[in-house]
Structure 1
Amino acid sequence: MYRPFLEYLEKELFSKFDLRSRPIPAGLEGNVSNRGKNQATIQSWCYECAELRKIRYTYIDAGASAQVFNSVIYPSYHYDIPLLGIDLLSFGKNKIIVVLDIQPLFQEESYLTKYIEPMRSLREKYNDLAQNLEMRFYDANQYFSKYLLFAKTDPETVKTRFFEAYQDYISLYWQMLEQAEMIQTEAEIQKIVKAQKDYDEYSAERDPASGLFSSYFGHEWSEKFLYEFLFEDAVKKEDSVKLAVPNTTR
């Protein structure tokens, strides 16, 4: 269902940037599950370039029962622009949820005015795809913009209206990146490093997709996928505790 979205993103990326493959930990680039009635496959891709330090996207194909396309694009630490987040989910014909946002790293008014306000006209153009649905797992005021698209919809709308919105939001993101000024000072760079790490920490703790991964591919694989690929800068809480305990055996 979402293959055209994946193919469009790939075409844009390869036409605009000098991409290099970014390593995916062995065993996490793909998997196959035969649990339940339908076979499910998951495949991931990851790239980098001078402007974008991590471009990841994942497709889950479980036939009619589930189709999922997820992507996050992280800019280089030399840019303070937001992340681009895409989450498209279909569970049968009656449960289709689309999320698309240019996700702010900071909530300061000056930052939001600079990077989020340019989204206003697009949000107004596609206001029918912004349904103010409740976010059960996330704080809508953290790492989401007030102009995100978040809707429960139908296959025809996905193929037409939402696909048009998808192209427009991606185009705006490229413009944002093109106009961004490079950050030079180490203090400012470290601020971006921390903000992106905090994003991974926050997302890994709350991502509801971990349950979906576990149901198809098992808990152990899913935990590795979540912490070693999707949000690789996050540290699992039990790991944090272990790291804090001094080694008294030496």
Structure 2
Amino acid sequence: MFDPLLEELNESILSRGGIEAKIPSDLAEGFSVKGKAFIKSWLWQAPGFRRWRVTRMDAGENLQVLNSVAYPEYKCDQPLLGIDLLWFGTKRKLVAVLDFQPLTQDKDYLDRYYDGLKSIHGRFPELGGNEIMRSFDPHQYFSPWLLFYRGNSQSAINSLKSAFTAFLDCYWMLNQLTLRKPSGFSPEEVKNLHIAYDIYSAERDPAHHLFAGYFGQAWANRFVSEFLFPYSSITQNVTTALDFPSE
């Protein structure tokens, strides 16, 4: 379901100077405890970004997943890129979340960074559903113009590829524009905002339970705390090798 989008995402990072980083082999890929699902992840370093992670899970007709988060360098207060796509084949149900995840809900910040996403949101109304998010507060780390859809509308499924391409292109363009402007936050403040994002997300991400069901609780705990949200353990003074210092 998501292989074309995965290829587009990874190729876009690679074409812009991305370098693939090593991940411990047991976290980089694996099969479910029942042998009915496969998961593979990539970790990238790219100009303008301190880390960019990508995960693809294939559980056949039961479930397909594509997830990615991009963290800009600390010197840049650009929103994080967030991609979360799930396809339940037997139910023909799509869950899609595409957003430039804001570091703050301050009006000046939203005015500065969201013209492009506003335009995309208007172009794809079928992906701008009004359903309530079940695991997260939509007013914290989500923008008012996120693309969020849950259901089996064929029009939404058909629009996903075009919306994904427009979304990704817009984010790359935003990064280039942002690097030319002074940041509204100091590098230390941006780092603290990234830490807060990881802590919040690790506590609420429903994928934790999903991964535990397929790959076991111990593996899921490591995957969430060491790969998905490595700063979630910052209060315990835990250092991870899966993060990179800002330039």
Q: Return the TM-score normalized by structure 2.
A: 0.88
Q: Match of 2:64, as an amino acid?
A: Q
Q: Match of 1:4, as an amino acid?
A: P
Specify whether residues 127 and 184 from structure 1 end up closer, same or farther in structure 2 by C-alpha distance, changes over 3 A only. Answer: closer
Deviation at 1:235, TM superposition (A): 1.6
Name the % identity.
37
Structure 1 residue aligned with 2:203, among 199, 202, 205? 205
CA distance in structure 2 between the partners assigned to 1:189 and 1:39 by the alignment: 43
Deviation at 1:198, TM superposition (A): 0.7
CA distance in structure 1 between the partners assigned to 2:37 and 2:47 by the alignment: 34
Deviation at 1:203, TM superposition (A): 0.3
Deviation at 1:49, TM superposition (A): 2.1
Instruction: Work out whether 1:224 is the aligned partner of 2:225.
Output: no
In structure 1, runs of 5+ residues without a counterpart are 241-250
CA distance in structure 2 between the partners assigned to 1:108 and 1:64 by the alignment: 42
Q: Return the TM-score normalized by structure 1.
A: 0.87
| 1:141-180 → structure 2 map (5 Å cutoff) | 141-154=139-152, 156-157=154-155, 160-180=158-178
Deviation at 1:26, TM superposition (A): 4.2
Name the structure 2 match of 1:247: none
- Contact map agreement 1:78 1:183 (CA 8 A) in 2: no
- Contact map agreement 1:25 1:229 (CA 8 A) in 2: no
CA distance in structure 2 between the partners assigned to 1:148 and 1:34 by the alignment: 35
Larger gyration radius, structure 1 or structure 2? 1
Q: Secondary structure at the match of 1:72?
A: strand
- Contact map agreement 2:13 2:46 (CA 8 A) in 1: no
Deviation at 1:22, TM superposition (A): 2.4
Deviation at 1:40, TM superposition (A): 0.5
- Contact map agreement 1:70 1:86 (CA 8 A) in 2: yes
Name the structure 1 match of 2:20: 21
Instruction: Work out whether 1:80 is the aligned partner of 2:80.
Output: no
Name the structure 2 match of 1:123: 121
Q: Secondary structure at the match of 1:173?
A: helix
Deviation at 1:184, TM superposition (A): 7.6
Deviation track 1:102-124 (CA, whole Å, cap 9, x = no partner) reads 11111111111000233212111
- Contact map agreement 2:199 2:233 (CA 8 A) in 1: yes
Higher relative CO (Cα under 8 Å, sequence separation at least 6) belongs to 2
Specify whether residues 40 and 158 from structure 1 end up closer, same or farther in structure 2 by C-alpha distance, changes over 3 A only. Answer: farther
Q: Match of 1:42, as an amino acid?
A: I
CA distance in structure 1 between the partners assigned to 2:156 and 2:57 by the alignment: 17
- Contact map agreement 1:78 1:182 (CA 8 A) in 2: no
Name the structure 2 match of 1:9: 9
CA distance in structure 2 between the partners assigned to 1:55 and 1:135 by the alignment: 24
Deviation at 1:222, TM superposition (A): 0.2
CA distance in structure 1 between the partners assigned to 2:79 and 2:234 by the alignment: 24
Specify whether residues 96 and 184 from structure 1 end up closer, same or farther in structure 2 by C-alpha distance, changes over 3 A only. Answer: closer
- Contact map agreement 1:93 1:154 (CA 8 A) in 2: no
Specify whether residues 114 and 183 from structure 1 end up closer, same or farther in structure 2 by C-alpha distance, changes over 3 A only. Answer: closer
CA distance in structure 2 between the partners assigned to 1:158 and 1:164 by the alignment: 10
CA distance in structure 2 between the partners assigned to 1:104 and 1:236 by the alignment: 21
Instruction: Work out whether 1:214 is the aligned partner of 2:216.
Output: no
Count of aligned residue pairs for this structure pair: 235
CA distance in structure 2 between the partners assigned to 1:204 and 1:68 by the alignment: 18
Deviation track 1:117-170 (CA, whole Å, cap 9, x = no partner) reads 332121111112111111111110011010001112448546531110111011
Deviation at 1:34, TM superposition (A): 4.4
Q: Match of 2:58, as an amino acid?
A: D
- Contact map agreement 1:104 1:116 (CA 8 A) in 2: no
